[in-house]
Structure formats: C-alpha cells, structure tokens
Amino acid sequence: MSATLSLSSRWLAEYMRRPLNVVLLVAVPVIFVTLSAGALADFADILGGGSDVGEVEAATAGWAAAVLAGVAGFFHVSQSRQADRRLAQAGTGAGRVVASRLVSVAALAGLASAGALVALGVRTDMAGTWRVIGATVLFALIYAGFGVLVGALVRSEMNGSLIVVFAWIFDVFFGPAMGGTATVLRLFPLHFPTLVVTDVASGHGGALGDLGLSLLWATISVAAAAVALVVTTQPHEHATRAASPGRQRVVAGLRAASRQLRRMPVMWILILGLPVAFISSSIAVTPDYPTPVELVEDGQRALSIISMADVHGAVMVPITIGFLASLAGLFVILDSAQADRRLSLTRFRTNEILAVRMVVIAAASLLATAVSIAVTAVSFDAARWSVFVAANVLVALTYATIGVIVGPIFGRLGGLYVLLVLPFVDIGLAQNAMFDAAPPAWGRYLPAHGAVRVMMDGAFTQTFDETGALVLALGWLAALTATAVVVFRRVTVE
C-alpha cells in the first residue's frame, strides 16, 4: 500500500511540473460554473427540463467536474503508457502501477470537484448539501474512469480526448436536465447522477434507485478502467515504420499531412457526425416560441421577434464549428510538432511548414462548416445564404487559428482545457441570442463577436448592415494569424 501511494505521489508531482495544468484544473470548473450556470438553467427550462432552475445550476458543478476529470484521466494515462510498461517490466508489477495511477487520477478528480463546488457556492447555498457534494464527486469519478479507459485503449491523443469531450457533450445536453426523455438516454453515464443532483425521481431506477445506479456507474467505470490499464500495461514491443521522403517540399509536406489525417479517424467521424447529431437534435427539441433578437435593418438597430427554433438553428452552426475548428488546430499542430522541428533543420522553410499545416487545418475546418450548414439548412432558411456561409467560414478560420496558438503555449492538456471554455463562453454564451437579445458588453471583446453579428445579419435580414462587425472579424483573424506565425516560428526553431 505504501508503495502504491508513493508512486501516486510521484505521478501527481509529475503532473504538477506544469503548474498551469493545476491552475486550469481548478480554474476551468470555476469559470464554467460561474458563467454558465444561470444560462444553462434557463436553457434547460426552455427545452422543458423537469428540474428547478437552482437544481440545474447545481448540476453544472458535476458537469464541469466530469469533463475535467475525464480529460485529466485520459492524458494522465495516455502520456505515460510506455513509461508504465517499462516500470511494470522492471519489477514493480502492472497491478501496483495501475493502482497508483488510479489513486492519482482520483486525486485529480477530487481537485476538479472542489473547484466546481467552490464556484457553485458563490451562486447558491446548495453547494454545501451532501446530496450535491456526493453527486458532484460521482460525476467526476464516472468520467475519470471513462477517461482512463479511453486512455488505455486509444493510441492517438487527439482521437481519445475527442471521444471523452464529445461523449460528455452528448451526455449533458441530451440528459434529463435538458429534457431528454428517450429510453436510450438512460444508458448515458451521467443520466442517473443528474437526476440525483437535481432531486428528480426517475421512476425507472428499479430496486437500486437513482443513487444506487449512480454508484453502480461509478464502480463499473473505475473497474473497467482498472482492467483495461492492467491489460495494456503489460510490456510488449512496438514495430516502427519509416516514412519515405518526397521530391518537392510543399507537395511532400501535404502528402505527409494527409497520412497524418488518416491516422485521426475520430476527428473525421466527429466532423461529419457531430453536426448531424448535435445540430439536428438541438433544433428538434427547441420549441417554436417567439424571442427578441437585436438586429440592424436599413441602418436601424432594433429588436426583432423571431422564432426560437430559427435562432437556435442559426447559432448552433458557429457553436459547433468553433469547437471542431479549434480542436483541429490544436491537435494537428501538436501532433506534427516534432516532425516540424526536424523539417526546419532541412531545406524546408518555416513558412512552408506552417502553410502545409494551415491547409490541413483549414480543410478540416471548412469541411465541418459545410456539414454544419448543410444540416441546419434542412430546417432553417437563412435570409441571405452567402453572408451566412461567409460569416461561419470566418468563425471556423478564427477558431482554427486560436487552436494553432493555444496548442504550443498550453500543451495538449492545458490547451484542451482552454478550448473547452473559450468557444463555449464566447459563442455559446456571450454571442448566443437565445440567452440575450444583444451580446453583453464584455462579449464584444471576444474573438467571435464580429463574425457572429455578421452571421445573424445574413440569417435574418435582407440588407447588409454589419460592415463594422465584418471589419472587426477580419481584424481578429489577421491579428490571430500574425500571432500564430510568431508562435509557430518560435516552436519550430527550438
């Protein structure tokens, strides 16, 4: 036991060598709960959720703790796979290594839960109740186990982290707090813990009840993670393959990039599948109620009354694109970082390397844009499609460039934490007309403000009146591109 705890303390010390990861592990739940609790509670009420607003706000603490614990568990395992095999082979044993990893992941889950509960305590006194505290910890443990399980089975850090993040998105936004009632949704890990924290009796919990099934989910998740870790920690040899050089630099770089993308099947599945599932489902569950939206028509700024379903159909496109494009930028840059450093020592110029990477990132981002627009076009008809499409392309390129910047600065884990929050706060909250007819004052300083204003203009008006917003969006894109070039040059010459 002492050996296991000793190893766990080493793993935690290793994690804390990047203090920023620790700060983000606490700060992200605080930001998520503080900024989104009220908006998500109102959104749940719009969709017909059966819980009180305060109880849905309490659930946001568990949701935040879950995604942070899941991502932390994934990277804690995936980044140490080879080292753990060598340690097990050296005599420590797979069982002891696995136990130490699970203890350290549980500690990280506890830290994420604490940050979320502290933030919730600022908003409501429900944070101090044992029901909310216990449920929040269960949220974190369930997804910590899921993250470890994915980390043990999935080689690619991009594929694995995307699996965790987007499983969480569907788990939350199609869960019972958001009005999800289909029988199949009961199979989602957070279904019963959400019912516990919102104090809603499901009526389908059986003999174990909602709390018992929540505990069972946590037990199954951790047990499955332990089994997968034991199996994959057993030492074995890996074959290596050499890549053949190309004749022309840029063409060779694009060929290599295409091979890299073929190794990212989850990203392509999500680019194609997430908009179909997420946008179409969101539109389907949104009631056709009138809602006020601030628009500019013929130079006059005024409130217009528009169907909430149409507003949701419009804003879901940039929300989805922002997440996908930023993650594409993050992982394409980081997955190719070592290769890019080696290329910079050859005849490849830094701007040629960056151009190749940006072509790949832009292709993924534009594909996500095309799929998202095609999906929303089934049930939503923009007033001017050309403006609507152009604005969403601006969102995609802006957030793809943000991903390029965030990756080298924050790393994989820290970068993913940042990109879980920034698009959500910027596009999902600040620029979302479903929550406020006009963006809040602080939202005007965020990257997507100009592009989303242009998008709303193209969606609901017959004349173009957002010239200032277009200039702002192009200015953001130019500034971010210049920053990305500087960051990329510094990384590739190190």
The DSSP code sequence of 114-158 is HHHHHHHHHH-GGGGSHHHHHHHHHHHHHHHHHHHHHHHH---HH
- Report the pLDDT value the prediction gives residue 273, as an integer from 0 to 100: 72
Domain boundary among 193, 214, 236: 236
CB atoms closer than 10 angstroms to residue 207: 6
- Report the pLDDT value the prediction gives residue 392, as an integer from 0 to 100: 94
Measured CA to CA, the distance from residue 469 to residue 151 in angstroms comes to: 42
- Report the pLDDT value the prediction gives residue 399, as an integer from 0 to 100: 95
Q: Is there a single domain that holds both residue 313 and residue 219?
A: no
- Report the pLDDT value the prediction gives residue 494, as an integer from 0 to 100: 54
In a domain, 469, yes or no: yes
Domain that residue 104 falls in: 1-236
Q: Which residue numbers in the chain have pLDDT < 70? A: 1-8, 10-22, 37-38, 41-54, 91-92, 127-128, 179-182, 201-207, 235-268, 270, 342-348, 493-494
Q: Is there a single domain that holds both residue 412 and residue 448?
A: yes
Residue 3 DSSP SS3: helix
In a domain, 12, yes or no: yes
- Provide φ and ψ at 419, rounded to 5°: -80, -10
Task: Name residue, tokens 């018992």.
Answer: 212
Q: DSSP secondary structure string, 333-367?
A: HHHTHHHHHHHHTTT--HHHHHHHHHHHHHHHHHH
In a domain, 243, yes or no: no
Residue type, 7: L
- Report the pLDDT value the prediction gives residue 245, as an integer from 0 to 100: 40
- Report the pLDDT value the prediction gives residue 241, as an integer from 0 to 100: 42
In a domain, 318, yes or no: yes
Task: Name residue, tokens 């569950």.
Answer: 285
Q: Is there a single domain that holds both residue 257 and residue 400?
A: yes
- Report the pLDDT value the prediction gives residue 346, as an integer from 0 to 100: 66
- Report the pLDDT value the prediction gives residue 402, as an integer from 0 to 100: 95
Q: Is there a single domain that holds both residue 380 and residue 450?
A: yes
Number of domains in the chain: 2
Q: Is there a single domain that holds both residue 426 and residue 352?
A: yes
- Report the pLDDT value the prediction gives residue 449, as an integer from 0 to 100: 94
Q: Is there a single domain that holds both residue 262 and residue 391?
A: yes
Q: Is there a single domain that holds both residue 226 and residue 256?
A: no
Residue 306 DSSP SS3: strand
Q: Is there a single domain that holds both residue 192 and residue 287?
A: no
Q: In Å, what is the CA distance from 465 to each residue of 4, 297, 457?
A: 64, 7, 7
Q: In Å, what is the CA distance from 3 to each residue of 92, 98, 103?
A: 9, 12, 12
> Do 420 and 403 touch, CB atoms closer than 8 A?
no
